[in-house]
Structure 1
Amino acid sequence: MKKIDFYKDLQPFLDCKDYTVSSEMYQVKKNVVFDMLVTVPVPKNLAAYYKSENYISHTDSNKSLLDKVYQAVKNITLKRKLKLINSFKTASKNILDVGAGTGDFLSVCKNNSWNVFGTEPSLEARNIALKKGITLNKDLAEIQNQKFDVITLWHVLEHVENLQEYILALHNLLSENGRLLIAVPNFKSDDSKYYKEHWAAFDVPRHLWHFSQTAISKLFSGVNMVVTKTIPMKFDAYYVALLSNKYKTGKMNPIQSFYRGFVSNLRAKKTKEYSSLIYVLKKQ
């Protein structure tokens, strides 16, 4: 496989601030070939940028308003995710959740007769998952000689450093008739265009890549995979608007955030450019 240099011939797009950990500024540049955005530079100690109580996917925090919104929405989306994977015809009901966080999704799957496997780089999150009866590996390299009917990445692909190699690894772990589910933010959404450099889903430098629908199709065509379906994640527009307003004005302003999320979803009915999308892929 010919190695792709995603950092070649990048065009200026905008500058973003890390609002979660460091307050450092980063450039977000456009890769025209793949119609995607790239965060530069990539910090050498990237793991340090995840060490924050504000990084909620690594904890089960329920303290702040934002925490409570996140947890409430999570419970609804978990049911929807389960319904989606149950709609696939599978041979062995083996599922791999990559970047499983504190294990809530796999816990739901396990309780519904799935054979669950998962990876999560955060030791703290793995320990929380273990208390729920979910044992997670640190990364994909620890999973050997195994094929999966379903592989899920819920807001994970934007974090991986070696993107091309990672996509190939996912392809190799998927069974011939399996389904790969990729959920990622969509930088072409209305809320992204409205909030611009304050759009919370840019989340630099933790988000190294920022995808469009074209980008996902092109990236996975390189391993002979095709997108069969896209599914909107409508709740994301509201949650992202809450954070974006906080970054822009210092306050979440729930009423305005709800309005911006509503407008983004309303406009996406025509454009299909929702704040976040789930891509269902299969091998050709």
Structure 2
Amino acid sequence: MQKAGRKYLSTKDHLVSGETFNLVYHEESDLLKTSPSPKIEELSKYYESQDYISHTDKKSGLFSSLYQLVKKWSLQKKAKLIFHQNNGKGSLLDVGAGTGDFLKVAKEKGWQVQGTEPNENAAKLALEKGIQLNPSLNNFKGNEFDVVTLWHVLEHVPNLEETISELSSLVKPNGTLIIAVPNFKSFDAKHYGKFWAAYDVPRHLWHFSKKSIEQLFSENFQLQNIEPMIFDSFYVSLLSEKYKTGNKFSLKAFWIGFLSNLKANSTKEYSSHIYCFKRRNKAI
């Protein structure tokens, strides 16, 4: 059981409710937790927004257009990454697959794909692309995959330790687990403080550092490498400037995004990271 943490900062839900939440820092695990955490049955209401891009294929507006443009490039990069980490194609489970774009690309490249997505509207959009998604990770018990991916999903799960345990059982021995999450120790996070868009409370229930991610998965996984997500600093900075100043477009945001990546060249603290793990061999 984790010790009680201390208040790190207060921030608000800029997308849906306008409610204020605290971020509580747990020093031992180097982890922030959103407090109070909404009850599981209440979480869905905080996703009810047309501006919640990962659940839509919206292309109109500056942020949506930029998001979709970068997404096309990043999908190809993700496909190359899983191929490299797995030394070839195989079975793939994408957890929190959204509208199914990543699985669609992977399927086209020869992967055997399955995925989960609890949001019904997002799952419907995925089905239109030929990708059928399961609403719950529990329905995959007893299955094992060569690669399991979570692209900006782990920060959303209510039961963190339970989810990590489930993920451990879903990855084959010597298989690959890939986790992408924001990094609250990045320059853009420190610059924007309570306005940093990647806090995204209360949809983001957890906020990770490199230390916390490696520590959380160390029992069953070996960290192989950490990849930067260089476009995240620009996109997050644009949203953060909007929350801070009300401006829908800001050249300053691009400068902060650039500075964040520049400083990360030496600190290795990018706005978001991709963590590539290998599953340890199970004891006989």
TM-score norm. by structure 1 comes to: 0.96
1:270 aligns with 2:266: yes
Q: Choose from 61, 71, 75 the match for 2:68.
A: 71
SS in 1 for 2:177: strand
Percent sequence identity is: 51
Q: Does 1:22 align with 2:43?
A: no
Q: Counterparts of 2:35 and 2:120 in 1: how far apart (Å)?
A: 27
Q: Please, which of 257, 260, 271 is the counterpart of residue 256 of structure 2?
A: 260
Question: Could you tell me how far 1:90 is from its partner in structure 2?
Answer: 5.3
Distance in 2 (CA, whole Å) between partners of 1:219 and 1:86 is 25
Cα deviation for residue 62 of structure 1 reads: 0.7
Within 1, Cα distance between the matches of 2:94 and 2:246?
35
Matched, 1:82 2:86: no
Aligned to 2:35: 40
- Secondary structure (helix, strand or coil) at the match of 2:231 reads helix
1:225 aligns with 2:221: yes
Q: Cα distance, 1:150 vs. partner?
A: 0.6
- Provide, for residues 33-54 of structure 1, a one-character-per-residue CA deviation record: whole Å limited to 9, x for no partner: 1001010001121111011111
Q: Give how far 1:142 is off.
A: 1.2
* Equivalent pair of 1:244/1:252 in contact (CA under 8 Å): no
CA contact (8 A) 2:83 2:89 kept: no
8 A Cα contact 2:186 2:271, kept in partner: yes
Letter in 2 for 1:181: I
Alignment coverage as a number of residue pairs:
278
Residue 181 of structure 2: aligned partner:
184
Out of 116, 122, 141, which is 1:125 matched to?
122
Q: State whether residues 223 and 276 of structure 2, in contact with CA within 8 Å, keep that contact through their aligned partners in structure 1.
A: yes
1:129-174 residue CA offsets vs partner (Å, 9 max, x unmatched)? 0010000000111113211011100000000011001001001000
**163-172 or 252-261, larger mean C-alpha shift:** 252-261
**Partner residue of 1:245?**
241
Q: Which runs of 4+ in 1 moved over 2 A?
A: 88-92
* SS state at 2:17 partner: coil
Match for 2:191: what amino acid?
A: Y
Alignment partner, residue 134 of structure 1:
131
Letter in 2 for 1:98: V
Question: Aligned AA for 2:213?
Answer: I
- How well do the aligned residues superpose, as a CA RMSD in angstroms? 1.1
Normalising to structure 2: TM-score of the pair? 0.96
Structure 2, gaps ≥5 residues long: none
Residues 183, 272 of structure 2: 8 Å contact kept:
yes
Query: Which string of whole-angstrom CA distances, capped at 9 and with x for unpartnered residues, describes residues 32-82 of structure 1?
Result: 110010100011211110111111100000111100000000000001001
Shift of the alpha carbon at 1:102? 0.2
Q: Distance in 1 between matches of 2:161 and 2:116?
A: 18
Aligned residues of 1:91 and 1:149 also touching (Cα < 8 A): no
Gaps of 5+ in 1: none
2:34/2:205 contact within 8 Å kept? yes
Q: 1:55 aligns with which of 52, 55, 66?
A: 52
